[in-house]
Structure 1
Amino acid sequence: YFASEQTSQLLIYSKKKYCLRYLVLERVDFDIKKLIVLISINSIEWKKIEYKYYIDKDLKIIIEINIPIYFKYIKLNYKDNFYITRSNMKILVTKFLGLIVSNRPDGFASRIWAFLNAMYIAKKTGFKFGFVWPRFDDVGGMISKKYITIDSEENIFDKNFIQNHSYTCSRLPQTHSYDNCLGPLSLKNIQKLPFYEDYGHLVTCCIPLYELIFDIDIQEYQYKLRQIWNKLQFSYKYLNIKNIVENIYHKLNNHFVAIHIRGGDIVNGEHRLFIMSSLWTYLYPLELVTQLIKMLLGQKIKIIVFSDDDEAVEMIKKNLIYNQYNLENLYFSKDLTPKYLSIEENIFFNFQLLSKSRYIYGSQWSTFRILAGFLGECKKQEAILDTFTYDEQYQILSDNLRSVKTNRSYKAASCMYLYVIGRNIDKDKECLIKILRKGFRYDPKNLSFKIKII
Structure 2
Amino acid sequence: MIFNSRKLKKFKANPRLFFKDAIKKKIFYLGSMYKKYLPKKYKAFARYTIVSAVYNVEKYLDDFFNSIINQRLDFKANIFMILVDDGSTDNSANIIKKYQKKYPKNIVYIYKENGGQASARNLGLKYMQENEYKTPWVTFTDPDDFLDINYFYSIDSALQNYQDSKISFVASQLIFYYEKIKVFNNDNVLKFLFGKNDIKLVNNSSLECIQLSAPSTFINYDLLVDKNIVFDESIKLCSEDANFIARIMINSLNYQSLYVDNALYFYRRRSDGSSTMGNQDAILNNKNFYINTVERAYVGILNETLRINTFVPLSIQRWFLCLYILQFIHLRKAINKSKILHILSKSEVYYFFQMWEQIFYYIQDEIILLENDIVLFDVFEKILTFLLFKPKSKYHQYVFVDKKNDKIQILYLSLNQCKVKICVDDEVIYLNAQQELFLDKKIFKYHYEIQLEDIRNKIYIKINDEYADILYEKQILKFVNFNKINVAKAAIVSAKPDGFGMRLSSMLVGLYLSKKLSFNFYFLWPKTTDLEQYNIRNHGVSLPDVSTVFKFNFIDKYLLDNGKIKENYGTEIWSKKRTVEELKNINLQEQWGWFSTEQNPSEWIYNIDKEKCLQELSFIYKNIPFSYRFRELMFLADEYLGKIGKDFIAIHIRSGDVVFSDTKNLIFHPMMEERYFPYEIAIELIKNIGLNQNVVIFGQDQQSNRKLIDFFKKYHKNEFNIFVVEKNEKCHDDNEQMFFEVNLLSKAKAVYSSKESAFSRLAMYIAGKNILISYHSILDQKIQINAIKKYGNLLKLDNIQRSMSYFFIALHYYNLKEFLKSLDYTRQAINFDVENYGYILFLIYSCLLTNNLQEAEQVICCNMDNFSVFKKILFYLCHWSNLRIREKIIELNFDNTFYGLNFLKMVVLFEKGDPMASKFLDKMLKRNKDKDFWERFYLICFLCPDVKLKLHLSYRLGYILIHSGIKIFNPFYLIDSFRNELVCYRIRINKTKEILDKTMIFNDESNVLKIKNHLSYKLGALLIQTHKSRFKIGYCILLFRIVKLFCKHYYKRK
User: TM-score interval w.r.t. the shorter chain?
Assistant: 0.7 to 0.9
Unaligned runs of 5+ in 2: 1-482, 845-1054
Provide the residue aligned with 1:397 in structure 2. Answer: 788
Q: 1: CA distance between counterparts of 2:824 and 2:539?
A: 31
1: distance between equivalents of 2:648 and 2:511? 30
Match of 1:132 among 497, 521, 524: 524
Listed as ranges, the matches of 1:5-404 within 5 Å are 92-94=485-487, 97-137=489-529, 139-149=531-541, 150-169=543-562, 171-172=564-565, 178-181=570-573, 185-195=578-588, 198-203=591-596, 205-275=597-667, 278=670, 279-297=672-690, 299-323=691-715, 325-326=717-718, 329-334=721-726, 337-376=728-767, 380-404=771-795
Paired with 1:195 and 1:403, the residues of 2 have a C-alpha distance of 62
Aligned equivalent of 1:450: 840
Q: Which moved more, 1:343-352 or 1:397-406?
A: 397-406
What runs of 5+ residues in structure 1 fail to find an aligned partner? 1-89
**Alignment CA distance shift 1:399-1:329 (3 Å):** closer
> Which residue pairs with 1:31 in the alignment?
none
Deviations 1:370-402 (A, max 9, x none): 331243176642211122111111111122222
Q: Deviations over 1:205-230 (max 9, x none)?
A: 22111212224333332221111011
Identity among equivalent positions (%) equals 21
Instruction: Report if aligned partners of 1:358, 1:377 keep a CA contact under 8 Å in 2.
Output: no
Distance (whole Å) between structure 2 residues aligned to residue 312 and residue 191 of structure 1: 48
Q: Give the corresponding residue for 2:442.
A: none
Structure 1 residue 177: deviation in Å? 8.3
> What one-letter code is carried by the residue in structure 2 that aligns with 1:280?
E
Is this contact kept in 1: 2:707–2:797, CA < 8 A? yes
Separation in 2 of the partners of 1:339 and 1:316? 25
Letter in 2 for 1:134: P
Give the deviation of 1:247 after TM superposition. 2.2
Shift of residue 356 of structure 1?
0.4
RMSD value over aligned CA atoms?
A: 2.6
- Letter in structure 2 aligned against 1:417: F
Q: In structure 2, what is the Cα distance between the partners aligned to 1:269 and 1:197?
A: 41
Report what 1:411 is aligned to.
802
Measured in 2, the distance between the counterparts of 1:408 and 1:396 equals 18
Structure 1 pair 179–296 and aligned structure 2 pair: CA distance change class (3 A): closer
| C-alpha contact (below 8 Å) 1:440/1:449 kept by paired residues | yes
Matching residue's letter, 1:220: K
Residues 189 and 116 from structure 1, CA distance in 2 versus in 1: closer, same or farther, beyond 3 angstroms?
same
Distance of 2:507 and 2:679 partners within structure 1: 32
Code of the aligned partner of 2:502: S
In 1: Cα distance, 2:504 partner to 2:599 partner: 11
| Change over 3 Å in CA distance of 1:272–1:352 after alignment to 2 | same
Letter in 2 for 1:334: E
Whole-Å separation in 2 of the counterparts to 1:98 and 1:366: 30
CA shift, 1:340, in A, is 3.9
Deviation of the 1:291 alpha carbon: 2.6
| More displaced 10-residue stretch of structure 1: 319-328 or 341-350 | 319-328
Distance 1:197 1:249 in 2: 50
- Residues 48-99 of structure 1 deviation map (CA, whole Å, 9 limit, x = unaligned): xxxxxxxxxxxxxxxxxxxxxxxxxxxxxxxxxxxxxxxxxx99444x7222
Q: What SS is found at the alignment partner of 2:703?
A: helix
Which letter does structure 2 place at the counterpart of 1:287?
A: E
What is the one-letter code of the residue matched to 2:753?
G
More strand by share: 1
- The answer to whether the 8 A contact 1:142-1:271 is kept is yes
Give the TM-score taking structure 1 as reference length: 0.73
Query: When the two structures are aligned, how many residues end up with a matched partner?
Result: 359
Kindly provide the amino acid, as one letter, of the partner of residue 507 in structure 2. F
Partner of 1:432: 822
Aligned partner letter, 1:128? N
Query: Structure 1 residues 338, 423: CA separation in 2 closer, same or farther (over 3 Å shift)?
Result: same
Question: Residue in 2 aligned with 1:64?
Answer: none
Structure 1 residues 183 and 122, CA gap change in structure 2 (3 angstroms): farther
Q: How far, CA to CA, are the matches of 2:655 and 2:566 in structure 1?
A: 36
Say whether the 8 Å CA contact 2:751–2:773 is kept in structure 1.
yes
On the 8 A contact 2:647/2:749 being kept in 1, the answer is yes
Higher helix share: 2
1:327 deviates by: 7.4
Which is higher, the Rg of structure 1 or of structure 2?
2
Aligned to 2:631, the other structure's residue is in SS state helix
**TM-score between both structures, scaled by the size of structure 2:** 0.32
Cα displacement (A) at 1:249: 2.2
**Deviation for aligned residue 1:197:** 6.5
> Shift of the alpha carbon at 1:293?
2.9
* Amino acid corresponding to residue 293 of structure 1 in structure 2: I
Kindly indicate whether the alpha-carbon contact (under 8 Å) linking 2:547 and 2:555 is maintained by their aligned counterparts in 1. Answer: yes
Distance 2:609 2:654 in 1: 30
**2:665–2:837 Cα contact (<8 Å) kept:** yes
Distance 1:138 1:430, change over 3 A: same
State the secondary structure of the residue aligned to 2:662: coil
Shift of 1:314: 2.2
Q: Distance in 2 between matches of 1:379 and 1:396?
A: 27
